[in-house]
């Protein structure tokens, strides 16, 4: 059963009740992330997420963690390009207590100056960790090559100089603009009564959240079609290609996902079989689709020996060309449909997954996620649907590449 409520402030609630479980996952999902930041703000969404845990008028940073531990609950948060999510998972009998704690730091964090200075050091170390994690760094380089240095091309962590300069006033000003009720969804998934969930939200959020309008920001989108690299003295070359793909609400997204599965989504995929199993050029090679509100991208990644980098790059391009020329087989269609279908069904068994699926769908579409309709759409996919997805996705004039490793020049795209 799915329950939906929109409050007077614009705040929205979604409850996916799953009986027979003993747990509940709860998320407070805000429609903001690095995509909506300005140059000077880049990194602030992520830094605010960190600072939310550093104390309220009621609890210190330790007391927030201790209060969750005392009821056996888990609490965490993450920032992406389009959302910031604060979430908890608890047993059903402690769902109310967990939500009160979650609501307290979400609404009442005071951002102490001493905690801010300490947390800047933590985030700067996180930035350094990304620099030492070449596949993560490769995707950051690729995002800039594909989208440029604005909007979806911005890194989530932001540059170190921005993080070092953030003030308490900067954080409060950004929250004032982006943490408006109409830009927030509260999502519950698990064994919880929907009326009890509504009562919790009314008591701890709706009755207390400042009533204000969201500052609308449209991300800038352009495709510079660059090939960029970052030289690193490491054992592998990590490279990735990006092509335009489908937005989150595009009716062709399921066909795109099936196409992606055939290309690089599993161990039977063409990229895995060709680049790893037949040629032995990579341990890790795969592809995926990132579907956003305004745009999307299909990304292919591989980590290879520097001496084999050009050969592996050519092999990846070759498999993409073969897919564009020949399409997919009937066997690949059947296998792909089953993989997409089972992935969707298995996700129903995770409260954390359902909390995000239903919460994000409501946030971005203002509609309730229709699981049965999605399964039906997958079941009816045809080879012609996938052929159209291939034609839309692989546009060479908008292709981009990013690489990290012992390189002296970027990969040639044309």
pLDDT digits (tens, 9 = 90+) for 26-66: 999 999 999 999 999 999 999 999 999 999 999 999 999 99
Domain 2-206 shares a fold with domain 227-405:
yes
What pLDDT does 222 receive?
82
For the chain, give the percent of residues with pLDDT over 70: 100
Q: What is the mean pLDDT of residues 165-191?
A: 97
Q: Are strands 12-17 and 184-190 parallel, antiparallel or unpaired?
A: parallel
User: Can you name the CATH fold of 227-405?
Assistant: Cytochrome Bc1 Complex; Chain A, domain 1 (3.30.830)
Mean pLDDT over 317-327 rounds to: 96
Taking the model in full, what pTM does it have?
Answer: 0.95
Alpha-carbon span 308 to 143, nearest angstrom: 24
By the 10 Å C-beta count (0-12 exposed, 13-18 middle, 19+ buried), 19 is classed as: exposed
More confident residue, 223 or 84: 84
Known catalytic residue at 49: yes
CATH class name, domain 2-206: alpha beta
Tens of pLDDT along 370-396?
999 999 999 999 999 999 999 999 988
**Residue 271: pLDDT above 80?**
yes
Provide the pLDDT for residue 228: 95
Q: Mean pLDDT over all residues of the chain?
A: 95
Task: Give the mean model confidence (pLDDT) for residues 170-189.
Answer: 97
Q: What is the dihedral of CA 98, 102, 107, 108, to 10 degrees?
A: 80
For residue range 109-166, what is the model confidence (pLDDT) as tens digits? 999 999 999 999 999 999 999 999 999 999 999 999 999 989 999 999 999 999 999 9
pLDDT-based confidence at residue 357 (cuts at 50, 70, 90): very high
- Spatial distance between the Cα atoms of 148 and 374, rounded to a whole number of angstroms: 33
Instruction: Name the active-site residue from 37, 41, 49, 206.
Output: 49
Q: Which residue has the tokens 């999902």?
A: 29
Which pair of tokens denotes residue 205?
């959020």
Degrees, nearest 5: CA angle 169-170-172: 65
Q: How many CB atoms lie within 10 A of CB 14?
A: 28
Q: Does residue 348 have a pLDDT over 90?
A: no
The structural domains of the chain, with segments of one domain joined by +, span 2-206, 227-405
């Amino acid at each position: 059963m799915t329950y939906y409520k929109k409050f007077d402030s614009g705040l929205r609630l979604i409850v996916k009740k799953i009986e027979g479980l003993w747990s509940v996952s709860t998320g407070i999902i805000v429609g903001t992330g690095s995509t909506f930041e300005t140059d000077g703000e880049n990194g602030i969404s992520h830094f605010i997420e960190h600072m939310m845990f550093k104390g309220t008028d009621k609890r210190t940073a330790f007391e927030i963690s201790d209060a969750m531990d005392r009821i056996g609950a888990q609490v965490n948060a993450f920032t992406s390009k389009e959302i910031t999510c604060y979430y908890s998972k608890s047993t059903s009998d402690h769902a109310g207590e967990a939500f009160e704690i979650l609501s307290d730091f979400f609404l009442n964090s005071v951002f102490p100056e001493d905690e801010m200075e300490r947390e800047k050091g933590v985030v700067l170390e996180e930035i350094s960790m990304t620099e030492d994690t070449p596949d993560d760094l490769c995707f950051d380089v690729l995002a800039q090559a594909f989208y440029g240095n604005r909007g979806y091309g911005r890194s989530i962590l932001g540059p170190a100089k921005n993080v070092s300069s953030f003030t308490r006033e900067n954080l409060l000003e950004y929250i004032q603009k982006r943490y408006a009720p109409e830009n927030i969804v509260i999502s519950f998934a698990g064994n919880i009564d929907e009326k009890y969930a509504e009562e919790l939200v009314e008591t701890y959020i709706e009755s207390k959240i400042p009533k204000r309008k969201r500052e609308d920001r449209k991300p800038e989108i352009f495709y510079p079609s660059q090939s960029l690299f970052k030289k690193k003295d490491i054992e592998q070359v990590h490279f990735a290609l990006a092509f335009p793909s489908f937005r989150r609400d595009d009716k062709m997204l399921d066909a795109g996902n099936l196409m992606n599965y055939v290309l690089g989504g599993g161990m039977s995929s063409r990229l895995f079989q060709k680049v790893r199993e037949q040629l032995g050029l990579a341990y890790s090679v795969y592809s995926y689709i990132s579907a956003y509100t305004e745009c999307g991208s299909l990304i292919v990644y591989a980590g290879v020996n520097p001496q084999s980098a050009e050969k592996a790059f050519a092999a990846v391009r070759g498999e993409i060309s073969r897919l564009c020329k020949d399409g997919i087989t009937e066997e690949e269609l059947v296998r792909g449909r089953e993989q997409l279908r089972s992935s969707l069904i298995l996700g129903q068994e995770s409260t954390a997954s359902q909390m995000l699926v239903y919460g994000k769908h409501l946030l971005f579409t203002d509609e309730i996620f229709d699981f049965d309709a999605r399964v039906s759409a997958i079941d009816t996919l045809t080879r012609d649907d996938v052929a159209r997805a291939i034609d839309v996705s692989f546009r060479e004039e908008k292709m981009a590449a990013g690489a990290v490793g012992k390189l002296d020049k970027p990969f040639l795209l044309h």
